[in-house]
Structure 1
């Protein structure tokens, strides 16, 4: 068993003020300060200036936030690793259900996030930047968001779409200059009110990572928006379509993208097939049933304790865009408890103990099989 702390943070004010608060928190931890200020090979002054221009166009306010963060750490802004890591790996499962399929007749979005426990922030932040839409979601490298919902009833989650792209040596090199998923998700949450606006925003945005974005709004519209080496594809559903749920794991599920990566890891294919089998023909699905799906152990469920294999469930979440709430269980263990957070209520800055069960994965899970 492995123990750590998870946090909630209230981030309110100007972008600079929010960044300064984050930097003040990080400055108290020497290891984190070094991680956030490390330099990456190949990222120099020219790339830094290009990143600033890209952020200012698609993620306005982030450069000011990083400036406050850097000032609190007393380092140059160009030394903050978020620039190099974002200017361009997780494995996750996500399910969007429209109201006709749920017991409460409300749209619901369920997701698990699998990764390495030492590369997860373990932070749920409520963020209200002056001039932006208020949102809450879990953070990546403090500034980015893995997921979230905003004040207009828009929820966003993600999972990798094929082999992950990133700035680290063991990842696939990006095929274009663009943003990582965590910057795109925060930009959508702070600037878009519904699925339609989000799709228009994402379609124009340069996104360098391979990712499945799941979008759901309180009106009962949902979309799976996927990117693969710069290519983009979308599937939309609404209360009038025959299809009333969407799912995605870690491979391309949209037909337009499958020819460009026509294979899936065994674990991704099995989880996708299992989700579809549980939900095909289902009705009156409850949040408790979704929680059971998220926490039941793989392969007859979505929970994975393989942290050292970069495939451990760090968080399980249920979003209700109509209610503006997130139910969150850290570490994929019911023993850690499900907590409900309401966007209408400010957060207290808290720390909560979390325990995770650690096992090693069967390496055959990571073998690839054809999708055709």
Structure 2
């Protein structure tokens, strides 16, 4: 059994004030202190300057926030690990249910996130930067967002498209200079009010991570934007579409991109088939049905306990962007409880004890098979 603490944090003010305030919060909670870029020998002041220029173009305010955070911790901005992990140089499941098949009549975005608990912040943050849209989502490296939704009713989640791209030695090397997914998601949440705006915003954005990005807005529009080594393909649906369901796991789905990544982990194909079998062709899909699918143990459900293999469920959630609410279950375990949060209500700074149950994965789980076999 793995024991962790999950946090909620309210951040409000200018970009610098938010960064400084979060630095003060981290000083009071040492388990959150991630500062130095140990292991990134080639990431220096010049690299930090180049990263800041990229952030200023696509994630305005982020460099100021990082400067405030560094000042609070009496460090240099270049020492903040977010720089080295987010500025890249050359796992999960998500389901969008539109109003036509939703029992509530509202669009829903459900997701599970699988990785290592040591790489998870376990922090839900409500962020209101002066001059930007307020948003509620889970953080990565404090400043990025794995997922979330904003006050306008735009919700965003992601899953890796193929083997994860990153700066760590065990990850796939990026094919272009660009941004990690957590910077992309936060930029969309803070600067876009709906799906069309988000797609336009990211049209020319340099995205180095290969991902299935799911977008849903309160108007009943959804899109899957798939990126692969600098390429992008998009599928959109709305209230007029015959198909009211959109979902993705960890392999490419777009015909234009599959030839560039023709293999997938067997478990990704299995999870994709499970979602389709459970939800396709159904009407009146309820949040309880989505919760059962999210928390059911693989292969009957989407929750995976393989934490030592970097494939354990760290969080499951259901976002209702029309209501402005999210239900969050840490660790994909019912024992940790579902917790409901409303973007209109301030978050009380808090810490919650949670437990994760780890098991060993069987070898076939990670077997690579042709996508055409799906």
TM-score, with normalisation over the residues of structure 1?
Answer: 0.97
Aligned CA-pair RMSD: 1.1
Aligned partner of 1:190 in structure 2 is: 190
Q: CA deviation at 1:4?
A: 1.4
Contact 1:23 / 1:69 at 8 angstroms: preserved in 2?
A: yes
SS of equivalent residue, structure 1 residue 251: coil
- For residues 110-125 of structure 1, the aligned pairs below 5 Å read 110-125=110-125
CA distance in 2, matches of 1:363, 1:200: 41
CA distance in 2, matches of 1:51, 1:93: 30
Aligned partner of 2:219 in structure 1 is: 219
Q: CA deviation at 1:356?
A: 1.1
TM-score, with normalisation over the residues of structure 2?
Answer: 0.97
CA distance in 2, matches of 1:96, 1:28: 38
SS of equivalent residue, structure 2 residue 21: helix
Q: CA deviation at 1:79?
A: 1.2
Contact 1:36 / 1:141 at 8 angstroms: preserved in 2?
A: no
Structure 1 pair 29–350 and aligned structure 2 pair: CA distance change class (3 A): closer
Give 5+ residue unaligned stretches, structure 2: none
Aligned partner of 1:202 in structure 2 is: 202
Aligned partner of 1:275 in structure 2 is: 275
- For residues 277-292 of structure 1, the aligned pairs below 5 Å read 277-292=277-292
SS of equivalent residue, structure 2 residue 208: coil
Aligned partner of 1:37 in structure 2 is: 36
Q: CA deviation at 1:251?
A: 0.6
CA distance in 2, matches of 1:280, 1:78: 48
Aligned partner of 1:261 in structure 2 is: 261
SS of equivalent residue, structure 2 residue 179: coil
CA distance in 1, matches of 2:117, 2:295: 17
Give 5+ residue unaligned stretches, structure 1: none
CA distance in 1, matches of 2:55, 2:205: 11
Contact 2:48 / 2:77 at 8 angstroms: preserved in 1?
A: no
Q: CA deviation at 1:279?
A: 1.4
- C-alpha deviations, 1:135-172, integer Å up to 9, x for none? 00000000000000000000000000011110111111
Matched, 1:14 2:2: no
CA distance in 2, matches of 1:182, 1:216: 17
CA distance in 2, matches of 1:65, 1:353: 28
Q: CA deviation at 1:192?
A: 0.1
Q: CA deviation at 1:30?
A: 5.5
